[in-house]
Chains A and B, each alone.
Chain A
Amino acid sequence: NAGVTQTPKFRVLKTGQSMTLLCAQDMNHEYMYWYRQDPGMGLRLIHYSVGEGTTAKGEVPDGYNVSRLKKQNFLLGLESAAPSQTSVYFCASSYGSELEQYFGPGTRLTVT
């Protein structure tokens, strides 16, 4: 039982490049989330999903896209990376929206 895993752990991109972050969970959770963590700002929700095939915007969705083609996976895409997207990205999952969220170890992304 691996919980929530994230791939990759670290990445450096040049401005304008694209990439996809992968999140996988083996707990059969319906809800999945993508957050970014920046110094002095806590965690901010980018996008979330309430079930396979569904996605919704969080508080900072601009510049990101997501897909939930399989229940266990939640992908976060950056189509054209910008330096403002330099951050640590966390994926999380939960059984229900009001219940405990389980977090992955994070992906540190630097955009130069």
Chain B
Amino acid sequence: GNSVTQMEGPVTLSEEAFLTINCTYTATGYPSLFWYVQYPGEGLQLLLKATKADDKGSNKGFEATYRKETTSFHLEKGSVQVSDSAVYFCALFSGTASKLTFGTGTRLQVTL
């Protein structure tokens, strides 16, 4: 079946540091890939997505590139802010399963 593997957290960074959160997946067919973010006390919201190989999703300074050869969709940001502190979820949608499959989430803590 489909699965998403994310790096264990928490990830603790100083403000303006470079961020990478790793995400790899296993899926049948050609899934769409997503990053969702959950701020404290809130529901998840879509951060970015990519629907086919080599696509790059980007939003709010975050980027992720759909790498089919390595089955990865790593999230990056060049300079994190305290306001980026949240839990980040990688997810995939596969038409064969017709549902989103989420990773376990990675908590990011950014300090001054």
Contacts and interface: CB of A to CB of B under 8 A. Distances in A.
Interface of A: 4, 40-45, 48, 58, 90, 92, 97-98, 100-106
A99 to B, nearest CB: 9
Contact of B46 (A44, A45, A100): A100
Interface of B: 4, 32, 41-46, 49, 89, 93, 95, 98-100, 102-105
A42 B89 contact: yes
B43 A104 contact: yes
Contacts of B32: 98
A29 B98 CA distance: 16
Contacts, number: 42
A104 B45 CA distance: 9
Nearest to A100: B46
Contact of B43 (A40, A41, A45, A106): A106
B49 A45 contact: no
Contacts of B49: 100
A34 B43 CA distance: 12
B48 to A, nearest CB: 10
A26 to B, nearest CB: 15
A97 B93 CA distance: 8
A58 B105 contact: no
A4 to B, nearest CB: 7
B43 A98 contact: no
13 contacts: A43-B44, A43-B89, A45-B99, A58-B99, A92-B44, A97-B98, A97-B99, A98-B32, A100-B49, A103-B44, A103-B45, A104-B43, A105-B42
